[in-house]
Amino acid sequence: MNEERLWEELGPEGFERVVAAFYRRVKTDDLIGPMYPQDDWKGAERRLAGFLKFRIGMDQAYLNERGHPRLRARHMPYEIGEAERDRWLQLMGEALDEEEVAGEARAELDAFFAQVADFMRNR
Ligand code: HEM
């Protein structure tokens, strides 16, 4: 993944907008929506956006707040099989469509999300 180019293209605000569009969908999703903390959507949004800004833009705020991501361990409490993985990716795809992330940036993000989402499978 070419992090530098992605960061130039989306910037911190771009990632924040994509994550906001994603959680707008997650909130009402019948399959994965109920897994999320119903009283802390703003926090969930902040954690995912923070992680992406850390992973792609080297922004250290996530690391300072949450420590090392340990994403697989942090997803263990949730039952994630193929259906949940596919739904997550579907909603993220719709969010990227809404924000009109296209071209190479889109191809790179699609591949990145697909890889991480599959790694989160624990059932
Ligand atoms: C495969 C399907 C997935 C499901 C069902 C899922 C579900 C969840 C849930 C329920 C949470 C807790 C919400 C919170 O309090 O923050 C969470 C947290 C998180 N997820 Fe996922 N997730 C999935 C895939 C991914 C992917 C692909 C990424 C990254 C590319 C990701 C990144 C994160 C991050 C950064 C957090 C917050 C970790 C922390 O700092 O505590 N997740 N996820």
Give this prediction's pTM: 0.97
Q: Residue-wise pLDDT tens for the chain (123 aa)?
A: 899 999 999 999 999 999 999 999 999 999 999 999 999 999 999 999 999 999 999 999 999 999 999 999 999 999 999 999 999 999 999 999 999 999 999 999 999 999 999 999 999
Q: Find the helix or strand (DSSP H, E) in which 94 lies.
A: helix 82-98
Rounded-to-integer distance, Cα 113 and Cα 53, Å: 14
Ligand 1, pocket-test mutation among 42, 63, 75, most atoms within 8 A of CB: 75
Q: What per-residue confidence (pLDDT) applies to 33? A: 98
Residue 75 Cα to ligand 1 midpoint, Å, equals 6
Domains of the chain and CATH, by start: 3-119 (1.10.490.10)
